[in-house]
Structure 1
Amino acid sequence: MNVATKTWGLSGPEFLLIYCVLAVVLVMLAVLHRHHLLAGRGRVSANDLTAQQVAYLNGQARLAVYSALAVLRSAGAVKVGPAPDRYLLTNGPPPAGSSPLDLVVHRAAGQRLSTRELAADGAVATELTRLRGTLEQLGLLPTADVVRVMRGWLLALAGVLILGLVRLSWGIADGKPVLYLAGVLISLFVAMVLLHRRWRRPRPTRSGEQTLAVLHGGYAHLQPANNPSWAVYGAAGAAMGVALFGPYALWTADPEFAGEAGIARSLAIAQSGGLLAGTGPSSTHGGYSSGSWGGGSTAGASCGSGSASSSGGSASSGGGCGG
């Protein structure tokens, strides 16, 4: 073929080979760099983390707020107002030894906010930000800089995709075969979508996942299936139970309060099942556990303990001559 007839001076097979190598190398570098960035800084002792820190690590801001509500409810410090508003009300002082998040959630409850509005309260939002900052410093959650670097890789891949689309349009205009190039572009786009889904809301670092796995083993007696008693384990046990095993733990321990507070039971069950199946943010260590936590309509209404545990635990490539 005469060079003059080649699009951009490269034949279809020549461009396709160079393009495939470029795309594959960038995808591999992006995945390897992500693996390095999300390593964390070693396992943190369970004694170094508060229940609300564990909750944020396991389920972000919403679960941290639910963990604080579990503390306050177990101490009888909050209740739910009458229908139809169902806003939170204070029902007494927060228990001794309450965390900073417990205190600001209790204060916010005194302002007649709904459960959904708690995280938007200024003091609560500030404390949640502080919680995340602490977890980032401990290497348990990725920092904003890490997230920006990972998104930078996506931008680089987007540039490669645009280059391929331009070549595709030129090839079509010149009447060249572009089927293989189109296949490569589709594969690259799929890889970018998968990477975006994993990087949009990064899970804990591997150090964070290891720490949660250790905590799940150390607090297996708080699993809802083991019927732990809030009366026995107190506010600290209630907070850690919700932190590790999710809002379903609050539902099974105190369904009346959970329902009145607007904590969706279907969502709690779905989170429990999804995480046990390995599809949630903490899928490598099992996440929230389903089961019965003693029923009852008031905090501390259940009894008993036992020992049991549950655990639960992607890639893409493609290539095809074109342009």
Structure 2
Amino acid sequence: MVKIEDIEIGEFPLLLAPMEDVSDPPFRAVCKENGADLMYTEFISSEGLIRDAAKSLQKLDIYDYERPIGIQIFGDKIESMREAAAKAEEADPEIIDINYGCPVKKVACKGAGAGILLDIPKMVEMTAEIVKRVNKPVTVKTRLGWDHDTIKIVEVAKRLQDVGIKALTIHGRTRQQMYKGEADWSYIKQVKEQPDIHIPIFGNGDIDSPEKAKEYRDVYGVDGIMIGRAAIGYPWIFNEIKHYFKTGEKLPPPTLEQRIDVVKSHLKFSVEWKGDKKGIFEMRRHYTNYFRGIAGVKPFRARLVETPTYEETLLVLDELGNELAGAELMTS
């Protein structure tokens, strides 16, 4: 059983990655229903939290059905991160997670996210201060390094463990790579094989099928896998991986009816959490992914992104299901 401190998260846990503008409570709800073992919030700005910015505060919303859950924070100032961690702890998550992996320019080039990989002593100091400030277990998500010439992930893992983190997730790319090229898990394996590493090590990057999840589990020896982009519009991936681990057989892909049911559930959570107008608007980014590969779906997708009310959206979804029944076996 894998544990983060005393929190049990399964024999080989599957984690939902924190993704900006994706990993909100409605999305997390459908991922949890479909097998995610541990989830994280979208990353939250430390400066926004300590200044009580409405957008940052809303991201602290967590619900009992999501547990165990971690709140993830990012920032470049140690004192701000300390206070943000304390504020996040007040929301009563199981875990406080630190983002040292975001590669986007507006974050990394200010020294936050993956930017801190250029200053490992500061990274260690910041982590130590956060660990001392909160009572919840602290975890970290990071990348291999800033670029190929600065990969020091084994040293980073040991130093972060030494200052008290309880688990480490490593994305197998450098900041320079962004999301391009292939994730290199050999470095993650190096970390896992260090005799003095005793915290759980989770791998992240490129897991998009049950077969790949099993291969990477077996080859790289990680304690669990974090899944990000492959879950967008496809929350079934968690249970599909678990079924494959258990039986060696692949589950059939979700039917059109199953897809519509999950979309309705996601939409319902979205409207309940954000209100009708914003909930419907922000749901629109998900339809393409939910109905990818369904022949004949294009005109319905166009209507879904223009429909203004919850009730009308449900009607379009019902019409889509009636008109395209059986189309899930085809490709667009």
For Structure 1 versus Structure 2, the TM-score category normalised by the shorter chain is: under 0.3
Between Structure 1 and Structure 2, whose CA radius of gyration is higher?
A: 1
TM-score (norm 2): 0.26
TM-score (norm 1): 0.27
More helix by share: 1
Structure with higher RCO (Cα < 8 A, 6+ apart): 1
More strand by share: 2
